[in-house]
């Protein structure tokens, strides 16, 4: 019989998304700040005059826009102060953000605070829909993404 780990060390709020952004491990935080363009220079761009992106950020990193609870994946590093991302999550106004590397993320199991349907991608790449998940449930499936379309459950945490 396989061993099921029931104790966790780290947790992160999971933001369901439809743009293939993986769930980052909270221990992989590499940068944080505030976008400084009231209107960014172009769509799918993160501008931050204090970014220091060249030293820390690589394509594939995950950005959590903590102002709007949206996510994106870094697709390119233009300069020390500008990144390209796969979703237009910095469209207008200043937004607080956190950037995570995904190198150490093996995929968390999930805790669902408010039940419903959870559409997820497993770390093996399988798209799975779980229905009628009750409140306060643990889902012992290593997950790379919670898909927004079709997910009705909320208050989801990724646990490591």
**What HEC string does 112-148 produce?**
EEECEEEEEEECCCCEEEEEEECCCEEECCCEEEEEC
Taking CA atoms, 6 is separated from 90, 100, 104, 140, in Å, by 37, 25, 20, 9
Are the CB atoms for 46 and 99 separated by under 8 Å?
Answer: no
Which pLDDT value is given to residue 1?
Answer: 47
Which pLDDT value is given to residue 104?
Answer: 63
Taking CA atoms, 74 is separated from 35, 60, 71, in Å, by 14, 5, 10
Report the C-alpha gap between 144 and 52 in whole angstroms: 27
Contacts of 151 (CB under 8 A, 6+ apart): 16, 116, 117, 118, 119
Q: Coil, helix or strand for 90?
A: coil
* Fold designation for 26-100: Thrombin, subunit H (2.40.10)
What pTM value is reported for the model?
0.90
Every domain of the chain with CATH number 2.40.10 lies at: 26-100
The DSSP secondary-structure symbol of 104 reads T
Radius of gyration of the chain (CA): 16
Which pLDDT value is given to residue 2?
Answer: 53
* pLDDT tens digits in sequence order for the chain, 160 residues long: 455 556 778 999 999 999 989 999 999 999 999 998 665 567 899 999 999 999 999 999 999 999 999 999 999 999 999 999 999 999 878 999 999 998 766 889 999 999 999 999 999 999 999 999 999 999 999 999 999 999 999 999 999 8
């Amino acid at each position: 019989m396989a061993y099921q780990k029931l104790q966790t060390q780290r947790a992160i709020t999971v933001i369901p998304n439809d743009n293939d952004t993986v769930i980052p491990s909270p221990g992989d935080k590499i940068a944080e700040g505030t976008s400084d363009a009231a209107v960014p220079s172009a769509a799918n761009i993160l501008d931050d005059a204090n970014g220091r992106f060249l030293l820390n950020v690589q394509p594939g990193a995950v950005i959590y826009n903590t102002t709007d609870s949206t996510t994106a994946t870094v697709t390119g590093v233009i300069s020390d102060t500008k990144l390209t991302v796969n979703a237009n999550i910095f469209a207008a106004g200043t937004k607080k953000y956190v950037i995570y590397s995904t190198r150490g993320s093996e995929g968390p199991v999930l805790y669902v605070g408010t039940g419903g349907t959870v559409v997820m991608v497993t770390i093996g790449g399988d798209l799975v829909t779980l229905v009628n998940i009750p409140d306060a449930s643990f889902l012992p499936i290593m997950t790379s993404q919670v898909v927004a379309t079709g997910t009705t459950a909320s208050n989801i945490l990724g646990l490591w």
